[in-house]
Each structure stands twice: as structure tokens, then as C-alpha cells.
Amino acid sequence: MIKKTDHSNGWILASPAILILSIVGLIPLLTVINYSFFDIFILDKRYWIGLEWYQELMQSPRFWASLGRSLLFSTCILAIQLPLGILIALAIPKRGIWVPICLMTMSVPLLIPWNVIPIIWLNYLRLDTGFLGQFLSFFGLDFDWKFNPIHTWLALILMDVWHWTSLVILLAYSSLSTIPTAYYQAAAIDRASRWQIFRYIELPKMSGILLMAILLRFMDSLMIYTEAFGINSGGPQNATLFLGIDLGEQIKAFDYGPSAARSVIYFIIILFIVWAFKTALNHQKSGGTR
Amino acid sequence: MKKYLKIALLIAYIALVFLPLVQVVQMSFLTTVSAASSQQPVFTWLNYYHLFTSPTLGAAFFNSITYVLLNICLTIPVALPAAYAFSRYSFIGDKHLFLAFLAFRVTPPVVLALPMFKIFSLIGLINTPFGIALAHCLFTIPVSIWILESFINAIPKQLDENAFLDGYSLPRFYYEILLPLLAPGIGVAAFFCFLFSWVEVVFARILTVTNGKPITMAIDALFGFSTDMGLVMAVIVASVIPGMVMFYFVRNHIASGFTIGGQ
């Protein structure tokens, strides 16, 4: 652990970053908060209505349903991507020519523009020409992502796993590669089992990075918009209407007031989760020093 | 035996990752036929020929590359001192500042898209690559700070102290000692800037109304009453190539140590 010096220079060094993030983050956020208290028809003509939008949103079953759906989706995503990512990261060799080849081939989905992901998957899932669709229909499965809500969910989860597991792999692998070989030698001398090596050496070393991976994957899937909208626009019958899709549609309709109130509530959810993450990280740091 | 299991697992995963992409590549070399006709698609180079001769697609590629490079040029110089500060100094409110940066990284663009559009149209940044580059700083700066911080953590602190004892000023220490040592870290951070900026759609859409359309929007625009899927697939293949090139440059450093909080 590096001992840090007390230095007020920190703020000066961080100030350029703070300046840019104020322009692109803080000011838009304050603007949104401001909008959320008004009924806006056109921006020059607006009426103060206080907390009305918030009350409306809090009482709308549609909001709570989409929050529930998003939480369920994120939970599924984490439950699959995290173990799978760790497993694959453990399977990649520690060094050699195959390491960059493995990482590079696995990372291809990360490099694809997000609006293209659903295009690729809708093609892939086509029952007549798509590889996966043909495979499924060969086994007599009538995969109907358009009208069967369970199938839409499966398609979305599969797509997201395909798209983002590589990020978990990259992060997990890079933290694994920082473990000195002496640790493994010591474990071999102690005749530690594979599970014990994972549990007492690898997992503690990875925990910080894994928390970061959890935060990134949880938040990005909670607020999924572009990819999910491309598959079925929130359908069938709102079965995949997530938080992001609901907001995106309201913004497209130029519903300034309600969409601003919704944005503020989303931001509060985000802040809460980031705060919980930071607390977990500090706890893990103070408890896990070895 | 266990070794073969690992290899089998890796091959299976890579195969599953590649299957949808294989179909994309395959379709990009086939002629597009309508579902109603009885024609069979045949092999063709025409999709790629159309891709390279289309002025709109060429311009879209140019726009995308411009804003991604601008974004990297904006992000790295700004993230570097901040990362250094987080790595080496403890200052009042540093934890909260880090938290705030993190919160902005995970704020989805839809939440800020509308006011961003209003503000950027006030200062005349709509339809410019610079506007998109600036907007994407919202997530590239926090990510870069985090990556660079972990790379700086890996450099022993004695190095700084010795340099300062030798009479180096902070800026001189930066340029002559820290930057060369950090080259891999800067490469990885630039790759992640590229990664999150190239693929982003919401800001790129709302900030380009009439002009300066990036490649993501150009692909959307290809869809119409009768879509030339072959061409779409060819554009998709082409849109992945710059990322692969970026990855190739940082391939040996990408996994060389993300840590968190100086562990």
C-alpha cells in the first residue's frame, strides 16, 4: 500500500478534469433539475408546478414496473456475466503468444457500435436464415422474440452476455496477472486445492476490480437503452420496457417536464448505488489488507 | 487433463462469440435478395465496392474517427494530472471527488441528453465532431482517470521523491520521467476512450441534427423500405476494424494490471 502525502495540490491537478465534467455533467444535471419543476410546452413558456411531476411518477405503476424489470434484468446479467467472466479469465494462460490472441478475439463484441448489436442479433435469430434461429428451429423450437415475452427476455440476456462478458474477462484477467508467482508456489507447497487457491489467493486479489466490474455492468445494464430498444422497442406489451427505454421514449416525444423529473430520479438511484459501491470498496479495503 | 478442459472452454467461448460475427461477414459477401423472390444470394464484392465509393459512408467514417481522436486528445491530458493527484496525494474531499467522477461515468447518456442538446446549441457545438468529443468526455475522463491511476500506483513513489530531490519541478518531472514510464498506461486509457466513444449512440445521435453524422447514424440511415442488408453488414465489418487496430497496439499492456485504490 502506497503511503499518500497530504497535499492541497490535488485539487489543482484535478481541476481541468473537474472543469470539463462540470460542463458536460454538472451543468446539464442542474438544468434537468430545473426543468423538472416546470410544466413546459415550449421552453420560453413554462409554468412552475413544483413537485407535481415527481408525485405523478411516484404514483405511476408503469414506473415501478419498469424499475422492477430493470432490476431483474441487471440481476440476471450479473449472475451470468460475473461467474462466466471469472471462469474464462482463469482459463486463459498466464503468459505466451496466446494471451493477446485470446483477449483480442474475445473483445470484438466490445468494439461494435451499440445500435448495430441488435441488428446483428435480429439477423442471427432469424428462423429462416439466422444461424441461431436455424439451429433452434432444427430442434423444433419456435423462437418468437417478437411476441413471446420470455423469448424476448432470453434474446436480450443472451445478447448482453455476448456483448459484455468480455469486459468482465478483461478486468478479471488483468487483476489475475498481477498476482506474484510466489503466491502460487506457496500454495503448492501447502498442497492447497484448486478451490482453496481461488478462494484464498485469487478472489481476494481480484475483489477490488470485481467490485468495479460489478458496478459498471450493473449500472450499464440497469440503464440499458440502445440495444434493448433495437430488439423489440420494449415489447411485447411492455414486457421489456426498461427504465432507459421509458425515458428515451419520453425524451423523443419532447416531454420536457416529466422526462426531467424522471432523469432526476434515475440520477438519485445512480448516486445511491455508487455510494453503496464505494462503501463496499472501503469496507473491503480496510478489512482485506493482507 | 485439466489443461485440455481449459482449452476446450476457451475455444467454446470464442466460437460462441464469433458465430454471430461469422454470419455478418458471410452476409457482407452475398448479394441482397428480397424475401419474395426465388433468387439465391450469390457471392459478390459489390457491397464493399459500394462501401468504399459511397461519399456519405466515407464522410461518416471520417466524422467518427475525428471525434474519437479529438476525444482522446481532450481526455488524456486532463485525466493524467487528476490520476496523479488521486494516486499520490490525499487531499480534502478526494474520496467524494472520486465518487462524483464515478457517478458521472455510470450516468446514462439518456439522462443528460436533452439539456446537453440545449446547452450545446447555445454555444454552437451542434453538428460538430468537437461537440460529440466533448460530450463523450462525460464517461471517458472518469474511466481514464481510473486506468491511469492504477498504472501510476504501479510506479514506486521513491521515483517521484528522488526526482524532486534532484531539483525537478512537477511539470518537468511529468514530461521527462512520468510520461515515458506511463506510455503503456496512456495507450490502454486511449483504447478505452476509443472503446466507449466509438460505440456510443445516444449523444452521437442527438448532437448531430443535419451534419457531421457518425458511422453509427450512417448505418441507421441505411435502413429503409428495401434495405440492402449486404451493404449494412459490410459497413458493420468495416466499423469494427479501427477498434481492432487500436487493440493491436495495446495488446501487450491491456492486461498488465488494473488495480484499484493502490493495493
Give pairs for A135-143: CB < 8 Å, separation 24+. none
Q: Which long-range contacts (CB under 8 A, 24 or more apart) does A200-208 make?
A: A202/A90, A202/A176, A204/A288, A204/A290, A205/A175, A205/A176, A205/A178, A205/A179, A206/A86, A206/A172, A206/A175, A206/A176, A207/A284, A207/A288, A208/A175, A208/A281, A208/A284, A208/A285, A208/B259, A208/B260, A208/B261, A208/B263
Which of the four pLDDT bands, split at 50, 70 and 90, describes residue A157? very high
H helices then E strands: how many in chain B?
A: 12, 1
- A4 min Cα distance to partner chain B (Å): 5
Inter-chain residue contact B263 with A285, CB threshold 8 Å:
yes
Confidence band (pLDDT; 50, 70, 90) for B36?
low
- pLDDT > 60? residue B263: no
Nearest to B242 by CA among A113, A100, A123, A160: A113
Residue B150 covered by a domain: yes
Of A21, A102, A263, the CB nearest to B111: A263
Contact between residue A225 and residue B110 where contact means Cβ atoms under 8 Å apart:
yes
Please check whether residue B65 touches A, CB under 8 A.
no
Question: In total, how many domains does chain B have?
Answer: 1
Q: Is B84 helix (H, G, I), strand (E, B) or coil?
A: helix
What is the percentage of chain B residues whose pLDDT exceeds 70?
A: 94
DSSP secondary structure string for all residues of A234-268: T-STTTT--HHHHHHHHHHTT-HHHHHHHHHHHHH
Contact A233, A146 (CB under 8 A): no
Interface test with A, best of B91, B98, B227 (most A CBs within 10 A): B91
Cβ-based contacts of A103 with chain B (< 8 Å): 251, 254-255
Query: B9: which chain A residues are within 8 Å (Cβ-Cβ)?
Result: 87-88, 91
> Which alpha helices (H) appear in B123-178, and where do they start and end?
129-153, 157-165, 170-173
Would you state the pLDDT for residue B162?
86
* CB–CB contact A106 B157 (8 Å): no
Whole-number Å distance between alpha carbons of B48 and B54:
10
Q: What is the CATH number of the domain that holds B120?
A: 1.10.3720.10
SS3 state of residue A38: strand
Contacts of A224 (CB under 8 A, 6+ apart): A70, A73, A160, A242, A244, A245
**Which pLDDT does position B261 carry in this prediction?**
45
DSSP-based three-state secondary structure for A193: coil
Element (DSSP H or E) covering residue A29: helix A27-35
Domain presence at residue B146: yes
How many Cβ pairs within 8 Å bridge chains A and B?
286
* Angle between helix A256-287 and helix B109-122 axes, rounded to 10 deg: 120
Grid coordinates belonging to A120? 446483428
Q: Is B134 on the interface with A (CB under 8 A)?
A: yes
Q: pLDDT digit string (tens) for B105-116?
A: 888 888 888 888
Say whether residue A25 is in contact with chain B using an 8 A CB cutoff: yes
User: Taking a C-beta distance cutoff of 8 angstroms, is the pair A110, A166 a contact?
Assistant: yes
∠ CA(B226), CA(B232), CA(B234), 5° rounding?
140
**CA-based radius of gyration for chain B:** 23
Cα–Cα distance between A112 and B63 in angstroms, integer? 17
> Average pLDDT of chain B?
85
pLDDT one-digit tens code per residue, A185-222: 898 898 888 888 888 888 888 887 888 889 889 988 98
CA geometry: angle at B18 spanning B16 and B19, to 5°?
70
ipTM of the complex: 0.86
Count of CB atoms situated within 10 Å of the CB of A237: 9
Instruction: Determine contact: B200 vs chain A, CB below 8 A.
Output: yes
Q: pLDDT tier at A288 (50, 70, 90 boundaries)?
A: very low
pLDDT in tens, B173-195: 888 888 888 888 898 899 889 98
Question: Does B18 fall in a domain?
Answer: no
Which residues lie across from B90 on neighbouring strands? A6
The per-residue pLDDT of chain A, averaged, comes to 85
Q: Which residues in chain B have Cβ-Cβ distances shorter than 8 Å to A160? A: none
Nearest CA of chain B to the CA of A28: how many Å? 5
For B124, left (φ over 0), alpha (ψ -120 to 50), or beta?
Answer: left
| Residue B68 exposure: Cα atoms within 13 Å on the Cβ side | 28
Distance (Å, whole) CA A195 – CA A182: 18
Of A18-27, B143-152, B250-259, minimum mean pLDDT range? B250-259
The pLDDT tens digits of the residues spanning B46-96 come to 888 888 888 888 889 899 999 999 999 999 999 999 999 988 888 888 888
Mean pLDDT of B30-50: 77
- The whole-angstrom distance between residue A102's C-alpha and the CA centroid of its chain comes to 23
- The closest alpha carbon to A284, from A195, A185, A209, belongs to A209
- Inform me whether the C-beta atom of residue A171 falls under 8 Å from chain B C-beta atoms: yes
pLDDT reported for residue B79 = 93
Looking at chain B, the whole-number percentage of residues with pLDDT higher than 90 is: 20
Q: Which amino acid is at B190?
A: A
> Is residue B163 domain-resident?
yes
pLDDT at A277 > cutoff 60? yes
Please give the grid coordinates belonging to residue A97. 503468444
The answer as to whether B89 is a domain residue is: yes
A193 at B interface, C-beta within 8 A: no
Q: What is the CATH number of domain A60-287?
A: 1.10.3720.10
Would you call B124 an interface residue with chain A, using a CB distance cutoff of 8 Å? no
Q: What pTM, to 2 d.p., does this model score?
A: 0.88
**Domain chopping of chain A, boundaries:** 60-287
Query: Which range among A84-88, B131-135, B250-254 shows the weakest confidence by mean pLDDT?
Result: B250-254
Backbone φ/ψ region at A50: left (φ over 0), alpha (ψ -120 to 50), beta: left
A133, A124 in Cβ contact below 8 A? yes
Task: Give the SS3 label for residue B202.
Answer: helix
Is B108 within the bounds of a domain?
yes
Q: Would residue B223 count as lying in a domain?
A: yes
Provide the domain limits for residue B238: 46-250
C-alpha cell at A272: 445511491
What separation, in Å, do the N-terminal and C-terminal C-alpha atoms of chain B show? 35
Across the interface, which of B10, B137, B232 has its CB nearest the CB of A102? B10
SS3 B89: strand
**All three cell numbers of B103:** 457517478
Instruction: Collapse the DSSP code of B224 into the 3-class scheme (helix H, G, I; strand E, B; otherwise coil) and give the result.
Output: coil
Q: Is A272 on the interface with B (CB under 8 A)?
A: no
